[in-house]
Structure 1
Amino acid sequence: MTTKKNTAAPVLTRCAEAETCTDPSSTMTLLADSAPAQGGFTVYRSTFAAGAPGAPAHFHTRAWELFFVISGSLRVLVDEEVTVLGAGDFLAVPPHTPHAFAAAPGAEADVLCVFTPGMDRFDYLRLLGSVMRGESDPGAIAASAERFDNHYVDSPAWRAALAGDGA
């Protein structure tokens, strides 16, 4: 029996060496962003403070987005349904599915996020942090939609959930 040699190299990111992007309400720890030509994946850890805005309603055309809640509570929108994920919960959102997420009201959230296939998304996460810190024009996010496969949409269900918080 012959096995095909894997040409992809293993990926190891030591916690002490991981890049972090910090804004006023969250920290993203960038763990791995493999080459799209290899099928790839993007992995990062987001730690949201209570009241952190998270991500507005959006979808991806090419990637699944996976969420694993390490601790705390994460409120999510999937299609038009809003629910709360707790520690140990897992969610996989397929391409073309509108979704949004933020720390649940009154809670913090520590979440492992994975995109597959990957597509060099660390540049998007860096841009997002820069905008959130007021260092870059928010229009740069909209201009990057195709490059990073991140397409924002309106969600009455998400707006209603946020309005219920007094946000």
Structure 2
Amino acid sequence: MIMNNDVNTNSLTSAPATPLQAVLTRGAEAETCADPSSVMTLLGESGAGAGAAGFTSYRSSFAAGAVGAPAHFHTKATELFFVISGSLQVLVGEEVTVLNAGDFLAVPPHTPHAFAAAPGCEADVLFVFTPGMDRFDYLRLLGRVLRGEADPKEIAESSERFDNHYVDSPVWRAALEAAK
């Protein structure tokens, strides 16, 4: 693999930009975080630095009936979903829909959203956030909370750091209740 970072052909200004660096994570070496209903494989991230947007990418495998994330929004990041296999139920704004294998969804900043394995289904999903915000630490914290190893208030206290702001959604609550 050859990568040349000497020239930034996308620069629109004469100010020097930080060159983007390639990120390679071998599947066998990827860190995993598990909670009672899902396994997250941390694929790669690069922080948002001067001149670089950065990203965070991970893969989540949800057991049938697994609840992914409650209703929340991001103020800076766009969250991308790609369903590798199975089906994922999602809330976007006030609408609930099901994404199936091969479906892609991009949720822009300030848009409330939530997700869970679709009723009776497993789901394998690739997530990407851009810009990146070193969210692997958030995923590690979430796993510790779900396993009872950390206090849930640590999640609320980290909302600004990880750009993860929880909201109430009667629509999402009703969808989860109907799935039972």
The answer to whether TM tops 0.5 is yes
Residue equivalent to 2:114: 100
Amino acid at match of 2:31: E
Correspondent of 2:172 among 152, 158, 161: 158
1:83-162 → structure 2 map (5 Å cutoff) = 83-162=97-176
The alpha carbon displacement at 1:8 in A equals 2.2
Using the alignment, how far apart are the partners of 1:147 and 1:90 within structure 2? 27
Using the alignment, how far apart are the partners of 1:61 and 1:35 within structure 2? 16
Correspondent of 2:64 among 47, 50, 56: 50
Identity %: 75
Aligned residue for 2:57, secondary structure, equals strand
Residue equivalent to 2:40: 28
Amino acid at match of 1:32: G
The alpha carbon displacement at 1:153 in A equals 0.2
Amino acid at match of 1:151: H
Moved over 6 A (4+): none
Higher-Rg member (1/2): 2
Aligned residue for 1:12, secondary structure, equals coil
Using the alignment, how far apart are the partners of 1:127 and 1:138 within structure 2? 9
Using the alignment, how far apart are the partners of 1:4 and 1:33 within structure 2? 20
The alpha carbon displacement at 1:3 in A equals 4.4
Using the alignment, how far apart are the partners of 1:124 and 1:152 within structure 2? 14
Task: Tell me the alpha carbon deviations over residues 45-97 of structure 1, each in whole angstroms, 9 at most, x when there is no partner.
Answer: 00000111110000000000000000000000000100000000000000000
Aligned positions, number: 165
Which ranges of structure 1 fall in alignment gaps of 5 or more residues? none
Assess if the C-alpha contact under 8 Å between 2:47 and 2:132 holds in 1. Answer: yes
2:8 aligned with 1:4: yes
CA RMSD in angstroms, aligned pairs only: 1.3
